[in-house]
Homo-oligomer: A and B are copies of this chain.
Amino acid sequence: MTAPVPSPAPVPALPSGVDPAWLPPAVFRPLGSRRTLIAGTGPLVDTVHGEVAGACDRFGGRVVRDAQEPGAPYDLVLELGEDDPNELGAEGFAVERAGGVTRVTAAGQRGLLYGLFHVVRLGEAVFQGELAREVHCPALSLRMLDHWDNVAVHPVMGQVERGYSGGSLFWQDGRARGSRAELERVRCYGRLLAASGINAVAVNNVNVHETEAHLLTARIGEVAAIADALRPYGIRTHLSVSFAAPVVLGGLPTADPLDEAVRDWWAEATGRVYAAIPDFGGYLVKADSEGQPGPFTYGRSHANGANVLAAALAPYGGTVHWRAFVYDHRQDWRDRSTDRARAAYDHFAPLDGEFGPNAVLQVKHGPIDFQTREPVSPVIGAMPNTRIAVEIQATQEYTGQQRHVCWLGPMWSEALRFRPEGADGPSVGDLARGGGLVAVSNTGDDPFWTGHPLAQANLYAVGRLAWRPDADPRAVLAEWIELTFVPEETPDPARLRSGLHAVLDGSWRTYEKYTAPLGVGFMVQPGHHYGPSVDGYEYSPWGTYHFADRDGIGVDRSQATGTGFTGQYAKPWAEVYESPETCPDELLLFFHHVPYGHVLHSGETVIQHIYDTHFDGVEEVEDARRVWAGLADLVDPARHARATERYEEQLRGAREWRDHINTYFFRKSGVPDARRRRIH
């Protein structure tokens, strides 16, 4: 009996009108015009086969599976099988070129898939000259996107909480997308994610509402259908669940994690999940946070809470991701002793070592909430005996909501390269090895996936930085530009490249300039968080204050005179942040309350810095808009038009920010602008 000849898994077809993002047909030209041998078996090898076959169909190359034609000359060999599987693991691959043959070897199927996309990224270069063997393994084994998608459409928040890209890719009209065409788009999405390095997706909002709670039980079949669509590209599906599920779904009188019936309920429910989805990734939980239920209700710790779910998942190899975003959102602004920045550390650091082996603590990169500028959360460096996942936010909740260009690679890179114990200690990227990198997704059913076409760069960077947290963000951006815009196929590659770098490279700092100054954060409109409102959260229960008065501004978080938050850092950083003299300018108001006349390291006063950066920021947006307009002949017209439209809004918004912030501080400080520009 001979084994059946494996057949290629067809490449999902992009629905009409949907942007190809970083996988336009042209990037497959080098691969598709050559002869490729694929060796190995398994569904993901079939996916690789399909990719190569699709490329060859288009560009005239040939692909052969398992040396059906031995001895034939190949340009590329993609093969499963390795002497030392430990070297490459399930996801790594080796690449080398000798004698005119490029060879990609992987020990696991996913490794082969990533090797294929590596070849695509390198393009012609991978078929030139010789290349000594290089091993590529992901630094973080969990590279995840969290979708804050709801099944039911929320009347205010819309379907995707903090979503700016249309409806959900997964859910529509109250159920999982199930038609052939709809699932095809989910497959396309999985393919894009795989090409960036993502290997896990949580398919529903961490705020688990009533409808969505049932995905865990009665509606697990819908999750399974999504998992089926994502699986061919190596993506495991995770589910956000309610900690109160044993009560809400199981009818138990309690969800106490130490209660035996609760434990049994989770075990049984999880067994049924795995019956439906054998490679299910695990649970994601937001507990005791912003109104979600949690273990505090029963006087239990978050470790108790996480561990009951971890125990249920353990037999199947699943993981629980437990969010550390726990704080008092009913704070009294009059009480200066409570500091929201302290909350995660205060809650979680004492629990180090208490979480089960398959429990991951998912920590936002900053101590507050995805502001444009925050220090790194001290929790990340404070729990050596806990698996830590670092959570970043691709969706631009506080960074322009995909109406403003804000390339976040440099911000994430700064966080991932930060060394909590100082220069000799491990980086945040190192510390996330056990847990991974998780990004809140910025995608939806918008034709450009991310609303603003240039926001695709952020999505792309998530996977690439998770693969290599110490990567140079500028190189990641360059890579994204090559794939997405294929400059070589335009009349002026150099102008296109330099134009795209000009509008993207510094866009985060530009955004920072015209919004809240010097790390103080917030100052956004309450609720939707778009646009300026300096006092929007100043007297609110959310714990996000700036304490501006007629003399100065900022939050004293020092140990000497403030909330003591600086003491949550290891010594080197605790010392740096403790004093305004050593604290970096860009975080000054996060850590200190200073007079408007305080002189920064830059040599400017705080108030003049505010005026200058706000005027500069708007000018930078005007420049970027001009540069973008000048790329019209080199960019796909639909993409160009969409971004042009968004630039109008960004410019309007930047001017509103500039004038609101400058007027506010002029009215409060009474200090005129040294350069006598117009403040209203």
Contact = CB atoms under 8 A, between A and B. Distances in A.
B549 A670 contact: yes
A488 to B, nearest CB: 46
Interface string A666-680: 111110000000001
Nearest to A336: B680
A591 to B, nearest CB: 20
Query: Is the interface on chain A under 10, 10 to 19, 20 to 34, or 35 or more residues?
Result: 20 to 34
Contacts of A333: 680
Contacts of A664: 535, 539
A374 interface: no
B548 A539 contact: no
A548 B670 CA distance: 12
A41 interface: no
A59 to B, nearest CB: 51
A185 interface: no
Contact of A156 (B155, B525, B660): B155
A526 B540 CA distance: 13
A667 B534 contact: no
Contact of A551 (B156, B334, B670, B680): B670
A532 interface: yes
Interface string A646-680: 00000000001001100110111110000000001
A58 interface: no
A664 B664 CA distance: 13
A34 B669 CA distance: 75
A482 B37 CA distance: 97
Nearest to A669: B550
A539 B661 CA distance: 10
A533 interface: yes
Interface in A543-563: 548-551
A535 B550 CA distance: 15
B663 A539 contact: yes
B667 A549 contact: yes
Given A535-B535, A539-B533, A539-B663, A668 B156 contact: no
A297 to B, nearest CB: 24
Contacts of A334: 659, 663, 680
Contacts of A660: 539
Nearest to A660: B539
Nearest to A547: B667
A627 to B, nearest CB: 27
Interface string A105-124: 00000000000000000000
A664 B547 CA distance: 10
Contacts of A527: 527
Contact of A155 (B155, B549, B656, B669): B155
Interface in A126-177: 155-156
A663 to B, nearest CB: 7
Contacts of A535: 533-535, 664
A530 to B, nearest CB: 13
Given A534-B535, A535-B535, A549 B156 contact: no
B548 A667 contact: yes
A534 B667 CA distance: 14
Nearest to A671: B550
Given A334-B680, A539-B663, A668 B668 contact: yes
A548 B527 CA distance: 24
Interface string A510-552: 0000000000000001110000111110010000000011110
A367 to B, nearest CB: 24
Residue from A526, A550, A656 with most neighbouring chain B CB atoms (10 Å):
A550
Given A156-B156, A334-B680, A539-B660, 18 more contacts: A155-B155, A155-B156, A333-B680, A334-B659, A334-B663, A526-B526, A527-B527, A533-B539, A535-B664, A539-B664, A549-B666, A549-B667, A549-B668, A549-B670, A550-B550, A550-B668, A550-B669, A550-B670
Nearest first, the 8 closest Cβ-Cβ pairs linking A and B are: A155-B155, A549-B667, A334-B680, A535-B535, A550-B550, A539-B660, A550-B670, A550-B668
29 contacts: A155-B156, A156-B156, A333-B680, A334-B659, A334-B663, A334-B680, A525-B526, A526-B526, A527-B527, A532-B539, A533-B535, A533-B539, A534-B535, A535-B535, A535-B664, A539-B656, A539-B663, A539-B664, A548-B667, A549-B666, A549-B667, A549-B668, A549-B670, A550-B550, A550-B667, A550-B670, A551-B670, A667-B668, A668-B668
